[in-house]
Amino acid sequence: MTVHQEWLEKVKIFRQELQKQNLNTLLPPPSLEELAIEYLEINPGKSIKGKVPFQAKFKNPMGTYQGGFLAAAVDDHFGPLSYMSAERPCTTLSLNITFLKPFVEKMGHCFIEAEVLQKTKSFIFMRAVIFNDQGDKLAHAESHVAILTDEQLQRIKL
């Protein structure tokens, strides 16, 4: 079983645990499949690495991968990483991405490596690097998330 398949099995367990608390979630999120992300390495609560294929349907007018879709792929790394770190749902407070080079079709795919920088009782701070096969940095990103309390989860009524 691949790392990605193992993760999908764990997600089913997470979803069942949340359903016991009357929290209905979309786990895994539909974006994971739409973006065709494959998780390659997972160090629970510390880091996650994935592979994102170039898909022509996500081209911008210049023919490169649309930045917003790459940001969504980064968020699909920060999301599970924050959940593993907090061991409960979180919500994104900020997601900042800086593009350095375009993700172009001839690259075929890119990699995203995300890591937890710091976790407090209420917040998690993360960083990610996006790069190609040659190790060229395409972008870097940071995210800050809030760890949701039981009271906050009940107000959201997922």
Q: Is residue 158 scored above 60 in pLDDT?
A: no
| Overall fold of domain 3-156 | Thiol Ester Dehydrase; Chain A (3.10.129)
DSSP, residue by residue, 68-135: HHHHHHHHHHHHHHHHHHHTS-EEEEEEEEEE-S---GGG-EEEEEEEEEEE-SSEEEEEEEEE-TT-
Q: Is residue 39 scored above 70 in pLDDT?
A: yes
pLDDT tens across 4-35, in order? 888 888 878 777 777 777 777 777 888 999 99
